[in-house]
Amino acid sequence: MNTATIGDRARGIPGIWLVVAGAGLWGVDPLFRVLLLESLTSTQIVLLEHLVLFAIAAPVLWKRRKELRGIRAVHVGALLFISWGGSALATILFTQGLAHGDLNAVLLLQKLQPLMAILLARYLLKERLPRYFGALLAIALAGTYLLTFGWAAPKVGLEGFAQMGSLLSIGAALLWGGSTVMGRFMLASMSYEAVTSLRFVLALPLLSVIALSEGHAWALPSGATDQALVAINLLLQALLPGLFSLMLYYKGLSSVKASYATLAELSFPMVGVLINWLYFDQAVTVSQLVGFALIWLTLYLISRKPSTGGPIYS
């Protein structure tokens, strides 16, 4: 993957829309991940995914090695949060949630991510939120609700929130929300190519330890055709919702407030609706169309505002 080519093509595109595109690619993630769960555990999937990404990220990081000079302890902490929390643990939790969670509860609880990121951005990055930002957030969340549940109330009781899948979903949402803020913090002193590469490289040792400690056997399919299918799905999983999406995401995040970016990440459920429609024969309803309109209206209004990141600790 030529990161310079991605940067050249992305130049001139408003950062908010690069974040939208990168997050939107995450919406195709379950297409690959659910199939892989038939043969591998959550940790094994994430470990193999990061091995593929390591092979691509290591040469990029070597070219950017000068950016590592003079790195401070606060930067190491932020990078570990991004790689161990946002890349390794959150992805494992999300994958396990797909396997064990109630879909309604998992989707609803993922909406904690923007709230977590905005809160952290306000107090850690000292971002000044503009007027009417709360109203914009409410509109975006209302659109997301319509995309997920339609006009009816969600059929999720207290037992739905208490089950394992929902708890895993909460953990993933919190880690991803914090990772957005830490990524914005790092982009003040490091290129998006270096941050993306370090995200994958630093996560690999932790994932290896977790995989070894679990002790699960590698139950790969025996047939050559099935093995090839697993390999293709793993490669596509690593490159599309993995590497390529994060390159776009961090390129856009370098010029967008973290509090804005986390709203742009709501393009994820919009893509999820399209995936359900195209691949699982679930027609788009009127409520979902209204949800699309509300979220895109929010993104349009945000994109018209200044994109400076505000004061950031260095």
pLDDT in tens, 191-229: 888 998 999 999 999 999 999 998 887 877 777 777 888
> What per-residue confidence (pLDDT) applies to 166?
67
Residue pointed to by tokens 């297409």 = 31
265 contacts: CB under 8 Å, gap ≥ 6:
19, 23, 113, 114, 180
Asked whether 84 and 75 are in contact (CB, 8 A), the reply is no
Joined together, the tokens standing for residue 101 give 């969670």
Instruction: Inform me whether the pLDDT recorded for 308 exceeds 70.
Output: no
53-67, 125-139, 160-174: lowest mean pLDDT where? 160-174
The tens digit of pLDDT for each residue in 81-110 reads: 999 999 899 989 888 887 776 555 565 566
Report the predicted TM-score, pTM, of the whole model to 2 decimal places: 0.71
Q: For residues 3-15, b (16+ Cβ closer than 10 Å) or e, as one string?
A: beebeeebeeeeb
Local confidence band at 314 (pLDDT 50, 70, 90 cut-offs) = very low
Confidence (pLDDT) at 77: 94
Structure tokens at 185: 């913090």
217: nearest Cα among 95, 86, 43: 43
Q: What is the pLDDT, as a whole number, of residue 303?
A: 63
Q: Of 7-11, 40-44, 146-150, give the lowest mean pLDDT range.
A: 7-11
**What Å distances lie between residue 99 and 16, 178, 279, CA to CA?**
32, 24, 19
pLDDT of residue 112: 65
Using DSSP, state whether 295 is helix, strand or coil.
helix
CA 301 distance to own-chain centroid = 22
pLDDT value at residue 142: 87
pLDDT, residue 201, reads: 92
CA-CA-CA-CA torsion sign (148, 152, 156, 161)? positive
